[in-house]
Amino acid sequence: MRNMAYQKKFFTVKLLFVSCLIFIVFRLYTLHPNFSDEIIYINMARVVSKGLLPYKDFFYAHPPLHLFLLAPIASLGNFSLVKFFISVIGLICILLTYFITKKLYDEKTGVITAIAFLIFPGFLIFGNLAMGTFEALLFYLLSFYFLLNRKTVLSSIFLSLAIFTRYLVVLLVPILVIYLFKYQRKKLSRSIFYFSLINILSFTLLYTLFGSDFFISTILYHFQANIEISQFAGLGEQYLALGFFTIFMSLICLIHGYLKKDSKILLFAFYPLIYDLVILLIFKQVIYHYFAFMLPFIFVAFGVTLVKSKLSVVKFSLLTILALSFFTNLTSLNFYFNEDENKVFNELVDYTLINTNQDDLIFGSATPTNYVSFVTDRKIVGNYFDSDLKFISFYGKERVLSEVKNAEPILIFATQSYADFFEDNYVLVKVWNKPGYYHFLLLKKGIV
């Protein structure tokens, strides 16, 4: 009997190992740029490695740890290597979710949880983009893991690292507080003390290093440009495409947790519903990676319910939802992982290398402009890496565009709004358009 139990344990761990290995091989064949804000952050990390500082030398809307985490690998100048590094971070999040589930329940449940998380499109897409979400999630899951092992100080340190990677982690703190209150009440006050002390010291240090621009860029900017309390944002295609499925996963697990009187499942299934609602209520525009913070908890509840439930209809429903989430997102998966869908980046790089010199300036839509800058080492006018219209409006649209116009960049990778502003002094080279994903124009300095 003991030998049989060992064989079953070995099989489940082997299954997880093989799944991770397949994932790694798959990523090695799909490392290419695509239209995502990650390219902005990767290029920012590259210039940080060369001595520029966020807030002082360029606008950056988030706390700084994300860029400093990426900077060493970005300094090597190999975009594919940075992409692979990001995928490793995502994979570590999967493994941490496995260890957390194993600690809370058992080996088999941990493996099922991790594999389900791994094949969910929300992870496959956003867990492999350098958006800051999974980088922050890595620190948060480490915090939760050390909390489970009663390492209060380590848990508080990693929680602070998560927050100063992405502020949205603040909305995940209640899960830790609830868990402590329910299962480690004696450590609650001590954890709150260390967490508060470390965060106050961290914020003070960052404010001292970067000055008021740190507060303006990472906090004030979001309240003016991104947050609008007491309104309901449009759900958006990204949330409907992925959140639609996690809602039903959570509801099924919530019912199972209630019937089994399992308070952990109740917490992990119910809190994501509240979190999603809060995000939808406070943000003017919702993007799915905001919601990805909840995926580990959703899939812990998913794994436990799938393994522990004795009802075939529950198991069938959960597996069907997971399968549907994958197959209904094949178009998005193809866009993000099929290099043929993203050949425009190589075209832009080739054109830039042929038609510009090392000292020539470029400007335009953030994603293509930053990729060209990263690969060709061309400078962006005014270090405007983030040229999103929200930032331009916040900083002063006329001020920014006048500065760009006076700098006379050789190439502009423009949205239509930028193209209209520069039409007198630039000629249209080419237009790229993929509805739902991107639309921009390549402009070259010259007289029409």
Provide the residue range defining the domain that includes 262: 2-336
Grouping H, G, I as helix, E, B as strand and the rest as coil, residue 231 is: coil
318, 384: one domain = no
Mind listing the pLDDT tens digit for each residue in 76-129?
A: 999 999 999 999 999 999 999 999 999 999 999 999 999 999 999 999 999 999
Specify the DSSP class assigned to residue 383: G
* DSSP letter, residue 411: E
> Same domain for 301 and 380?
no
CB 52 within 8 A of CB 384: no
Q: Which two tokens stand for residue 229?
A: 């309390």
pLDDT tens-digit readout, 180-196: 999 988 889 999 999 99
- pLDDT of 2: 53
Per-residue pLDDT, 230? 47
Together in a domain, 10 and 150: yes
pLDDT-derived band at 11 (thresholds 50, 70, 90) equals low
pLDDT tens digits for range 198-219: 999 999 999 999 999 999 889 8
Q: Are residues 85 and 140 in the same domain?
A: yes
Count of domains for the chain:
2
Average pLDDT over every residue of 343-363: 92
Taking only the tens place, the pLDDT of each residue in 218-277 is 988 888 777 665 444 455 556 777 888 999 999 999 999 999 999 999 999 999 999 999
| SS3 assignment, position 362 | strand
Pair 145, 97: CB distance under 8 Å: no
**376 and 420 together in one domain:** yes
59 shares its domain with 159: yes
Least Cα distance to 226 among 38, 45, 389 occurs for 389
**Those residues with Cβ within 8 angstroms of residue 246's Cβ, 6 or more apart along the chain or in another chain:** 122, 272, 276, 291, 294, 295, 298, 325
Select from 387, 388, 425, 396 the least CA-distant residue to 408.
425
Task: Give the contacts of 347 (CB within 8 A, at least 6 positions apart).
Answer: 430
Q: Specify the pTM.
A: 0.93
Report the candidate in 217, 245, 257 with the shortest Cα–Cα distance to residue 53: 217
Q: Which two tokens stand for residue 203?
A: 């914020």
Whether residues 315 and 351 share a domain: the answer is no
Q: Which of 336, 353, 373 is the last residue of a domain?
A: 336
Are 249 and 347 members of one domain?
no
Query: Edge-to-edge, what's the strand order for the sheet holding 426-434?
Result: 379-380, 361-364, 411-414, 438-445, 426-434
pLDDT at 304 over 90: yes
Does residue 447 surpass a pLDDT of 60?
Answer: no
pLDDT band at 448 (very low <50, low <70, confident <90, very high): very low
Q: Indicate if 137 and 70 belong to the same structural domain.
A: yes
Pairwise CA distance, residues 109 & 294, whole Å? 18
Name the percent of the chain in helix, strand, coil, to the closest 5. Answer: 70, 5, 20
Domain boundary among 336, 354, 373: 336
Question: For residue range 136-152, what is the model confidence (pLDDT) as tens digits?
Answer: 999 999 999 999 999 99
Ordered alpha helix ranges (H), 261-365: 263-282, 295-308, 312-327, 330-337, 344-355
Integer Cα distance of 291 and 388 in angstroms: 21
Q: What is the mean pLDDT of residues 302-306?
A: 96
Whether residue 414 is found in the same domain as residue 349 = yes
Residue 357 and residue 325 share a domain: no
Runs of H (alpha helix) within 50-106: 65-74, 79-104
Contacts of 48 (CB under 8 A, 6+ apart): 54, 67, 68, 71, 74
Residues 65 and 160 in one domain: yes
pLDDT in tens, 32-91: 998 889 999 999 999 999 999 999 999 999 999 999 999 999 999 999 999 999 999 999
Out of 291, 307, 336, a domain closes at 336
Q: What is the pLDDT of residue 3?
A: 53
Q: What is the mean pLDDT of residues 302-316?
A: 94
Closest CA to 337 of 42, 16, 93, 87: 87
Integer-rounded Cα radius of gyration of the chain: 23
pLDDT score of 396: 77
